[in-house]
Every structure is written in structure tokens, then in C-alpha cells.
Structure 1
Amino acid sequence: MLTFDRLTKRFKGNTAVDAVSLTFPKPAMIGIIGASGAGKSTLLRMVNRLSDATEGHVLFEGQDVTALRGGARRAWQGQCAMIFQQFNLVPRMDVVSNVLHGTLNRRSTLATMFNLYPREDIHRAIDILDRLGIAAQAPKRAEALSGGQQQRVAIARALMQDPKIILADEPIASLDPMNAQIVMDALRRIHDEDGRMVIANLHTLDTARRYCDRVIGMREGRVVFDGTPAQLTTGVARDIYGADAGFSEAATSTSIEALDDAGAMLRPAQAAI
């Protein structure tokens, strides 16, 4: 279904993604992990065609995505929706209008200029917001919502595109543990209920293990791990992150319980200061 064939990206002599070859034969929930600068975001941007590959190919259902230009490229970006860490909403615009922006790739220039939407699209946008538990926020400005609510609006906007693939670039990096779980639950549910492929860049191991069917580990632009969540041991994680024996998963966990445990370990030391 989706194949990366020696996908490579160089920036002024520096290799950000180095000959990555992966095949995803069917829709799945896939997590990509690795330290900052490992090439995770650059990889997703090449898949979505926000960035062009230096070498290699992205193939989807037999089509060479890296060769698409003009309208064909925009059509692909409609099938391959992108969710960003910083939400990328229009802050002073109401929530439902932000969601309706997911239809821009199939609307006329005139309709876009005058903010005209078919009634059925408006109803569908509200239905998607309801599915994500935030329909009551539809008339509010996006800037009035919490970070977790804004990320769900961004997910709703992606669903308005009716994509085959959803790419999520660090979707919970700026969220507290409770909202992180709500957002990841939503992405997992979208995969399970809709059969869409979801590929998410993640920065915590517990999240990858809990939500993903397959985990890809990247280090210095290369894939150094490709396996199941059960195979993602602490030792494997040390190799992915280039860490020593002092590496602690709890320090980067999004689990409320793990964070509580970490806090309990810190408190006695703090009390002695």
C-alpha cells in the first residue's frame, strides 16, 4: 500500500534522512520514535510532499508520489492529511470554519475568497467535531480553546479531507498527560473505526507501545529499529536514542501514573535540600 524506497533528504551537505526503505502493506497505526534531529519530521514532510526528496521514492498504491506536480500533488496532499505539533489553526476564526478548511483543496477560488461552504459540509464538520467530543466548541474562536481541544480541531480538519493516510508530527508534544491520552485515543479510534493508516512521530516510548501496531526507530536519519511494541525493550530504546545505562523511560513518559511515580522518587531528594 505505502512504500518508501531509499528515501533520502539532504540539506546543504547534511543528510537528514538517509536511504530509508520501508513497506506498509495495509493500513496500520504506526509510531516513529527517535531523538530530536533523527529525521522523523523530515520523513513525514517528504511523504506529504511539503518537502521534496533528494533521492528515492514514495509509492502509494503503485503511484510514485515523489513525481507528482501541480494539481496531482495537491490531490495527493488531500489524500495524505498532516497534523502538526502546533495545530496550525487560524486563531481568530471560529472552530467550525477551521475544520472546513480541510475542504480547501476541492473548492473554487471564489468560494474560498468569500468563505462559502455547502450546508452538507457544515453539517459534516459538526458531526466530526461531535465524534471528537468538542461539538459544543464549534462557534468559539480557536484561540479560546485549550491545547488539547485545539489539537482535536486539527484532527477534525484532517478528517474533513477524508484522507487515506493521516500523518501526525509530534501531535502530543505540547500537551499535558491527560490531553495527550485524549488525542492519542482519538487517533487510535480513527484507525480502528475508519481503517485509515495513521503514522505518528512520537517522543515517548509508553505512547508508542500503548497505541501503535508497529514502531519505527530512527537515529541520525536512518531506520535502526522496525518491530512490534513488545520488541521495543529498554535496551532497544537506548540504542535508538544513543543513551547510556542511565536512560530512564519514566522521565519522558506521557502516562499520568508513570509521572506520579517519577515525582514520588524525586520528592524525598527535594525534601533533603
Structure 2
Amino acid sequence: MLEVQGVTRMFGQKAAVDNVSFSVDRPAFIGIIGRSGAGKSTFLRLMNRLTDASRGEIRVDGHEILSLRGARARQWQSSCAMIFQQFNLVPRMDVVSNVLHGILNRRSTVQTMFNLWPRADILKALEILDRLGIAEQAPKRAEALSGGQQQRVAIARALMQDPKIILADEPIASLDPMNAQIVMDTLKRINEEDGRMVIANLHTLDTARRYCDRVIGMRDGRMVFDGTPEQLSTKVARDIYGADTSFNESATSTSIPEDTTADRAYARLMLS
């Protein structure tokens, strides 16, 4: 389904992504971990065609996507939705319009200028928001929502594209533990229920272990680990992050403490 072969991205003499190769034969949930500057975000931008590779190939269902240009590249971006750490919503625009912007490239210039949307598209956007537990937020401005709600709006916008693959670049980095759990649970449900591949850059090991089918570790642009969550030991993590024995992964945990019963009940309510 996905084949990455020798993908490299050079910035001057420095390789931000250095000869990365792996393959995925099913719509799995893939986590990419590593310290800042490891090449995680650059790799996702290469996949989404937001930047060009220096060499290598990425094939999806047998089709090479790094060579795509113009309309064909934009068509690929519709099949490979991107979710960003900072949400990238239009703050003063209402939530449902932000979701509809997921299919903006399918609209004519006149329709875009006058914000004209077919009833079927509006209903689809509302259905997606309802699925993600935020339908009641549809008429509000995006800027009025909490960070966790805004990230779910960004996920809804991605689903509006009906993509094969969802790329999530540090989707919970700016969220508190409760909202981080809600967002990750949402992405996992989409992966399992819709059969969509999810590739997420993550900054915490407990999140990678809990949600991912497979974990890829990057260091200085290169892949240094490719395995199951169970294989992601503290020793392996130290190697990925280039840390010594003082490394303590619990300091970066996003887990909700066991005694926060009310918070867990609230999270279940938001996902029901």
C-alpha cells in the first residue's frame, strides 16, 4: 500500500531526511518519534508534497507521488490529508465553514468568493462534526473553541477530503493530557473504523505505545528504529533520542492519572 524507498531531502549540505526506506501493506497506525530536528516533520511534508525530495521514491498503491506536479499533486493532496500542531484553522470563520475548506480545491472561484456550498456538502460536514462529538460547535467561530476542540475541527476538515491517508504532525503537542487523549482516541477510531492509514509524528513514548501498530524512530534524519510498540524499550528510546541513562520518559507522559475519575468520565462522554 505504501512503499518508501531511499527518500532524502537535502538543505544545502545537510540531510534533513536521509535515505529513509520502509513499507506498509495495510492501513495501519504508524507513529514516528524522535527529538526536534530529527526529520519527522520534513518527512510528512515530503509525503504531502509540500516540499520536494532530493532523491528517492514514495509509492502509494503502486503510484509514485514525489514526481507529481500541478493538478496531479493537488489531487494527491486531497487523498493525503494533513493535520498540523497549530490546527491551521481560520480563527474568525465558523466551524462548519472551516470543515468545508477541506474540499476548497474542488470549488470554482466564484463559489469560493461567495462562500457557496451545496446542501449535501454542508450536511456531510455536520455529520463529521457530530461523529467527532462537536456538532454543537458548528456555528461558532473557530477561535472560540478550546485547543482540543479546534484540533478535532482540523480532523473533521481532513475527513471532509475523504483521504486514503491522514498525516498528523505533532497533533497533541500543544494540548493538555485529557484533550490529547480525546484527539488520539479520535484518530485511532478513524484508523480502525474507516480503514484509513494514519501516520503521526509524536513526542511522547507512552502515546506511541498505546495507539500505534508500528513505531519508526528517527535521529538526525535517519531511521534508527522500526518495530512494534512492545519493542520500544527505554534503552531503545535512549538511542533514538541520543540520551544518556538520566533519560526519564515519565517526564513527557501524556497519561491521565488514574485517580481523575471525573476527567475520565468527561473524556468518555465527549467520545460517545
CA distance in 2: counterparts of 1:194 and 1:105, whole angstroms: 23
Question: In structure 2, do the counterparts of structure 1 residues 241 and 90 end up closer, same or farther at CA, with 3 Å as the change threshold?
Answer: same
- Does residue 1:107 correspond to 2:97, yes or no? no
Alignment of 1:247 onto 2:208: no
How high is the TM-score relative to the length of structure 2?
0.94
1:42-76 deviation line (CA, Å, top 9, x unaligned): 00000000010011111111111011111100000
Show the counterpart of 1:257.
Answer: 257
Alignment gaps of 5+ in structure 2: 261-272
Q: Is contact 1:250-1:258 (8 Å) kept?
A: no
Amino acid at match of 2:112: T
Number of residue pairs aligned between Structure 1 and Structure 2: 260
Q: Paired residue for 2:155?
A: 155
2:268 counterpart residue number: none
Could you list the per-position Cα deviations for residues 180-226 of structure 1 after superposition, in whole angstroms to 9, with x for gaps in the alignment?
A: 00000000000010000000000000000000000000000000000
Flag the 1:139–1:211 CA change in 2: closer, same or farther, 3 A: same
| Conserved? CA contact 1:6–1:56, under 8 Å | yes
For 1:207 and 1:188, the matched residues in 2 are separated by 11
Compute the TM-score of the two structures, normalised by the length of structure 1. 0.94
Counterpart contact for 1:251–1:259, Cα < 8 Å? no
In structure 2, the CA distance between the partners of 1:86 and 1:195, relative to structure 1 (3 Å rule), is same
Give, as a single letter, the amino acid of the residue that structure 1 aligns with 2:108.
Answer: S
CA RMSD in angstroms comes to: 1.2
C-alpha displacement at 1:258, in angstroms? 8.6
Q: 1:219 maps to which residue?
A: 219
CA contact (8 A) 1:30 1:199 kept: yes
Separation in structure 1 between the aligned mates of residue 8 and residue 138 of structure 2, nearest angstrom: 41
After the TM superposition, list the runs of 4 or more consecutive aligned residues in structure 1 that deviate by more than 4 angstroms: none
Identity over the aligned pairs, expressed in percent?
74
SS in 2 for 1:78: helix
Quickly say closer, same or farther: Cα 1:249–1:89, change in 2 above 3 A.
same
Report if the CA contact (8 A) 1:164-1:196 is conserved.
yes
Cα separation, 1, equivalents of 2:106 and 2:13? 38
Q: How does 1:89-168 map to 2 (within 5 A)?
A: 89-168=89-168
SS of aligned partner of 1:201: strand
Query: What residue in structure 2 maps to residue 265 of structure 1?
Result: none
Give how far 1:106 is off: 1.4
Q: Shift in Å at residue 160 of structure 1?
A: 0.1
| Alpha-carbon distance in 2 for matches of 1:141, 1:182 | 21
> In structure 2, how many angstroms separate the alpha carbons of the residues matched to 1:138 and 1:41?
30
Following superposition, the deviation at residue 257 of structure 1 comes to: 2.3
